[in-house]
Structures are given as C-alpha cells and as structure tokens.
C-alpha cells in the first residue's frame, strides 16, 4: 500500500506537476522566473552556503541522471574496483559538502534580519526538503556501502519502468527504509520545483558562450541586422 503510494502515485503526480506547471509558469509570468538571489542583502555566509551547496549537489545530481540514462556505461565504470571506491568516496565527500552548504543556507536565513522579508514559506519547505534529501543521501553513503552499485539494480530499472508507463514498484519494495525515503524525497522535490525558486536550475545559460558581446534588438526587421 505504502509502496504503491510512494512509487506509483507520488512519482506520476510529481512528474505531471512538473510537466504541466513548469511551462504554465514560463508562459504565464516569466517575471517570477529567477534564482531570487539574496547576495545583495547578505554575502558573507552566502559565500560558504551557496558555493558548497551548488558545487556539492550539482555533480551528485548529474551522477544520478547519468545512472538513469547510461546505466551500462556506469556499470562498466563501476566494475573496476578502484573506480568504484574512488566514486563512492567522491560522492560522499560532495554530499557532505552539500550538506554543510545546505545547513549554512538554512542557518543564515534564521539569523539574518534582512533575509526575513525575502524568505517565503516556499523557501523554507524547499530548504527543509533539500536538507532531508542530502542528509539521507549522506547517511546511505556512510552506512550502506556500494550504493552506486545497487542504485543501478534497484532505482534505475524502477525509473525506467516509470518512464515506460509500466511502473514496477517491486524493484523498490525490499530496499532499506532510508532509501525509500530518499527516493520519495526526490519526487517531492520534482513536484515542488515548478512552484519554487528551484526553477532557476532549468535555465542555465550556455548560448552566451558563442554570442558576440553586444546584443542589439531592432524594432523593425527591415533595418540593420
């Protein structure tokens, strides 16, 4: 019952929200599409919080997706014991880094009066959820060894079954509780993404790398270029 809710109902609800609300927000009011930086108001602790958080979490998130979209490649890399140990320790290190960053981000919002008016309920829910997510991730990295290995045999095939609209929650039924919570947390984050400032991660700019420095816009298509 719980399994069905966590691994069938929740994921589809989350993916549906993500798929429909994100474009809705984009097309209805892009004026709210921002990372809502608070650096202007407080920068000393943000330096440690934001840098540790992002440099920790982005590689870890990328690795998760790598596992989903290229399981075979990941499998062959991990077959090498040295590589496995290296990746596991790197993952744990990055996780700890992110956890530290997340804690700093939370504490800084608690203790800085300036941040009161720029902190919304959404921010608290998001930060709490991300703390939970990083904490469960780090816990598994420490106490349930070789996670990157069994991730490939449990969560990855389960994700594939989700994406093929033939959900097989069985893959996830026998895993430890903390792993279940970690997976459910991920779906909550996906569900929340279109409603919070987290939308910023969908819009990482790369175009500017090849553009000429000065951008012109002409009112009339006939003139100039």
Partner 1 sequence: MDARAQLVMVFHLDKCLGCHTCSISCKNIWTDRRGAEYMWWNNVETKPGVGYPKKWEDQEIFKGGWVVDGNDLRLKALGKGPTLLNMFFQPNMPKLEDYYEPFDFDYGNLYGSREENDQPVAEAFSQISGRKIDVIRGGPNWDDDLSGSQLYASNDINLEQRGIVEDYGKMFMHWVPRICNHCLNPACVASCPSRAIYKRGEDGIVLVDQNVCKGWRFCTSACPYKKVYFNWDSGKAEKCIFCFPRTETGQCNACAHSCVGRIRYVGVLLYDAERVERALLRPDDQLVEAHRDVILDPGDPAVRDAARKNGVSDQWLDAAVQSPVYALVKEFGLALPLHPEFRTLPMAYYIPSLSPVLATLGDSHELMEHGVFPSVETLRAPLSFLASLLAGGNREVVAQVLGKLIALRAFLRAKNLHQPIDPEVLKKAGLDEAAALRIYRLFTIGGYDERNVIPAQQREEQDPHARSGESGFGILKKTGRGK
Q: Which residues bind ligand HEM (CB under 6 A)?
A: 35, 37-39, 46, 50, 54, 57-58, 61, 105, 126-127, 130, 198, 200-201, 204
Residue 84 or 115 having the CB closest to partner 1:
115
User: Residue 174 interacts with partner 1 (CB under 8 A)?
Assistant: no
Minimum distance from residue 49 beta carbon to ligand HEM (Å): 7
Residue 44 or 166 having the CB closest to partner 1:
44
> How far is 92 from 206, CA to CA, in rounded Å?
29
Half-sphere exposure of 205 (CA within 13 A, CB side): 7
Minimum distance from residue 151 beta carbon to partner 1 (Å): 26
User: Residue 222 interacts with partner 1 (CB under 8 A)?
Assistant: yes
Candidate list 3, 4, 37, 76; residue touching partner 1; CB under 8 A: 37
One DSSP character per residue, 147-193 reads HHHHHHHTHHHHHHHHHTT---GGGGTTS-HHHHHHHHHHHHHHHHG
> How far is 76 from 78, CA to CA, in rounded Å?
5
How many chain residues interact with partner 1 (CB under 8 A)?
Answer: 51
- x/- track of binding to partner 1 for residues 120-159 (CB under 8 A): xxx-------------------------------------
> How far is 55 from 60, CA to CA, in rounded Å?
9
Half-sphere exposure of 55 (CA within 13 A, CB side): 11
User: Which residues, including other chains, have CB under 8 Å from residue 50's CB and lie 6 or more apart?
Assistant: 39, 101, 105
Which structure tokens are listed for 123?
């921010």
Residue 205 or 221 having the CB closest to ligand HEM:
205
User: Residue 61 interacts with partner 1 (CB under 8 A)?
Assistant: no
Residues that bind partner 1 (CB under 8 A): 28-41, 43, 46-47, 50-51, 53-55, 113-114, 116-118, 120-122, 197, 200, 203-205, 207-209, 211, 213-224
């Amino acid at each position: 019952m719980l399994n069905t809710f966590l691994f069938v109902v929740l994921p589809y609800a989350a993916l549906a929200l993500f798929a429909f609300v994100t474009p809705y927000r984009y097309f209805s009011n892009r004026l709210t599409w921002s990372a809502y930086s608070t650096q202007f108001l407080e920068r000393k602790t943000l330096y440690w919080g934001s840098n540790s958080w992002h440099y920790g979490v982005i590689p870890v998130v990328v690795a998760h997706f790598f596992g989903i979209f290229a399981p075979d490649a990941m499998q062959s890399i991990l077959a090498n014991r040295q590589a496995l140990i290296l990746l596991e320790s790197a993952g744990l290190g990055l996780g700890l880094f992110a956890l530290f960053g997340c804690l700093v981000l939370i504490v800084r919002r608690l203790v800085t009066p300036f941040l009161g008016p720029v902190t919304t309920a959404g921010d608290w829910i998001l930060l709490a959820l991300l703390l939970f997510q990083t904490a469960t991730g780090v816990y598994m990295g420490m106490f349930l060894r070789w996670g990157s290995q069994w991730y490939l045999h449990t969560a990855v095939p389960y994700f594939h079954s989700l994406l093929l609209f033939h959900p097989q929650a069985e893959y996830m039924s026998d895993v430890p509780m903390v792993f279940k919570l970690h997976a459910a947390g991920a779906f909550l984050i996906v569900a929340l993404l279109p409603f919070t400032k987290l939308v910023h991660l969908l819009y990482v700019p790369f175009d500017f790398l090849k553009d000429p420095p000065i951008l012109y816009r002409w009112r009339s298509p006939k003139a100039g270029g």
